[in-house]
A and B are shown apart, each in its own frame.
Chain A
Amino acid sequence: MASLEQNTDNTAVLIQNLTRKFGKFVAVDNINLTVSRGEIFGFLGANGAGKTTAIRMLCGILRSSGGNAWVAGIDINKKPELVKRKIGYMSQKFSLYNDLTISENLTFYGGIYGLKRKVISQRSRDLLDRLKLVGFRNRMTGALPLGYKQRLALGCSVLHRPRVLFLDEPTGGVDPVARREFWDLIYELSDQGTTIFVTTHYMDEAEYCNRVSIMDQGRIIALGKPTELKQEHNVKTMQEVFFDVVQPVIT
């Protein structure tokens, strides 16, 4: 069995035999995965396949029932609290404060991560500029269109400069232009060395990832570069790969 020594500088996420059971139900069934630094990794699967359970374990929110994982070099079983501080996490349910302004949300999240006031204000300024939110910084968050909230939620999750960023369906319900802008930011973060671990139901977005895995009934049933997977299944799109490997729900 591989050990910690394998966890070299270039490995951002190392997952070994990770398992989670809820009673008799096995939500995550012995998964193995290595994700490199700066990689954009697409974590795909049908609703209920176990993606969110796996991500919750990797973020230190949920304890595993077996196996282990190292995120940014930190053991998720031994130091879940440290994992939480070192990673960035953005969910579909943005968890922003609607009755705070954009600036106030950034300041609040900076405070949670224990950043100094000066650092917060400097990074907020940079982020507002890159997220194209400068003109809206004093607007109430609740009154903003979804695409703006999404960019702000991304900003709040990277303020402390995490090495690994988890995005759980970040673009659900967002229009194509906002999605393009969002992906530009993802590429920028990846180019700077941030590892991106993203789940999505948009199969065109799966094509934008460096590598993807597809989960079904708690197991990883496909893994590789989009181009390789398409070749392997002799199809033109990731959507077709998905249909090829995921069994439809039998009702």
Chain B
Amino acid sequence: MFQTGKTKVALLLEALEKSYGKIKALHHLSLSVEPGQIVGLIGPDGSGKTTAMRIATGLLTPDNGSVRILDIDPFIRPRQAKELIGYMPQRFSLYPDLTVSENLRFFSDLYLVTKHDRIERQERLMKFSRLGPFTNRRASKLSGGMKQKLALMCALIHTPSLLILDEPTTGVDPVSRQEFWNILRELAEQGIGILVSTPYMDEASLCDNILMMYEGRIIGTGKPEDITTLFPDKLLEIRDIDITEIKRKLQMKYPTLSVQRFGDKLHIPYSDEEQFETIKSAVPDRTQVNPIKPGIEDTFVALMSKPNITADYISEESG
């Protein structure tokens, strides 16, 4: 079902299982990344995103299931797989007291890139990332956004076909994040497959395909424009100058209602017109109550809190 046409899939994970002791980190996880496609993994801490990415790179062995990188099994042919993968871990992994170009040189040597190739690629990557003027600056003296760009360039020095990026833009300001994503889109246009995790919902909407992860499972998947159709109910928005009071009254009157505050607005899921009217009649006349289209974040939160999912990742009071 994942093999589409004759082109090789950049990354194929099938039925992955992984436990750490009693904790089940991945339940039967499958996903694919096509060449030229950006696939986004979104999910809370401990949902298994990093575990899935580490298994995909071949750094971590699954208990069950298979990994293929352009048809190559990284656990049987690790060297070949390594050539194909560029990996950017969540934690900044460059050498702070090496300069920009020394870091690139170091990663080139790790990947056995020849001197000739290195010089040619470094020039191209510096231009592409606009890090050129900072070639001799120490990594520790770069801004957050520039550090992340350098880490990405280090992951690209051996011209991989698949990029695995674990929360590459966390803590980076909006302008630098936008620039980083423009670079990712250009790389995808060159045919690289990209698997990226992010906590930013606005970034999820820049992916070609979104996978929502929770407790080791994929709970929702789709294109950014389609995924909001998975929202199980309808959604209404309430606007009022005294939103605190409105929220308090609604929750007192209807304790089961899920009321979420966003600044001067409330979002409430509802099932039908009758419930909509009930909520509307419970607030003052001046208050605006309107049905709205749920966003990616609303959808994610709704799918996460579906009761059929058992909370076995963190069990209370174990120690």
Q: Is the CB of A251 within 8 A of B130?
A: yes
How many angstroms between the C-alpha atoms of A251 and B171 in the bound complex?
20
Interface segment out of the listed A13-21, A72-80, A177-185: A177-185
Q: Which of B175, B179, B201 contacts A176 (CB 8 A)?
A: B201
Report B263 CB to chain A, min CB distance, Å.
Answer: 4
CB atoms of A251 and B301 under 8 A apart = no
Residues of B within 8 A of A147 (CB): 44-45
- Chain B 199-221 near chain A by CB (<8 Å), digits 1 or 0: 11110000000000000000000
B145 beta carbon closer than 8 Å to chain A: yes
Is B170 an interface residue when CB atoms closer than 8 A count as contact?
A: yes
Question: Is B133 positioned at the interface, with any CB of A under 8 Å from its CB?
Answer: yes
Known contacts A173-B199, A175-B199, A187-B244: does B171 contact A201 (CB below 8 Å)?
A: yes
Give B150-192 interface residues, CB cut-off 8 Å to A.
167, 170-179
B134, B262, B300, B319: which contacts A140 (Cβ < 8 A)? B319
Nearest neighbor of A191 in chain B, beta-carbon distance: B244
Residue B297 lies at the interface, judged by CB distance under 8 Å to chain A: yes
* Contact A47 B172, CB 8 Å, known A176-B300, A251-B131, A251-B133: yes
Assembled-state Cα–Cα distance A114/B175 (Å) = 42
B45 touches A169 (CB 8 A): no
Give 1 or 0 for each of B40-51: 1 = CB within 8 Å of chain A CB.
001111110000
Is B143 in contact with A174, judged by CB distance below 8 angstroms?
Answer: no
Smallest distance from the beta carbon of A76 to chain B beta carbons, Å? 26
Expressed in whole angstroms, the Cα–Cα distance for A204 and B267 within the complex equals 14
Question: Contact partner of A204 among B132, B145, B201, CB < 8 A?
Answer: B201
- Is A23 interfacial (CB-CB < 8 Å)? no
Given A47-B144, A139-B319, 7 additional A-B pairs, CB 8 A: A47-B143, A47-B176, A173-B170, A177-B305, A201-B173, A204-B297, A210-B263
Chain B: residues with CB nearer than 8 A to chain A? 42-47, 130-134, 143-145, 167, 170-179, 199-202, 244, 260-264, 297, 300-301, 304-305, 314, 316-317, 319
A-B contact list, 30 entries, CB within 8 Å: A47-B145, A47-B173, A48-B143, A135-B317, A136-B316, A140-B319, A145-B44, A145-B45, A147-B45, A172-B171, A173-B171, A174-B45, A175-B44, A176-B44, A176-B201, A201-B174, A201-B177, A203-B174, A204-B201, A204-B202, A208-B262, A209-B263, A227-B264, A239-B202, A242-B174, A243-B174, A248-B175, A249-B145, A249-B175, A251-B130
Nearest 3 A-B pairs (CB), nearest first? A175-B44, A135-B316, A208-B263
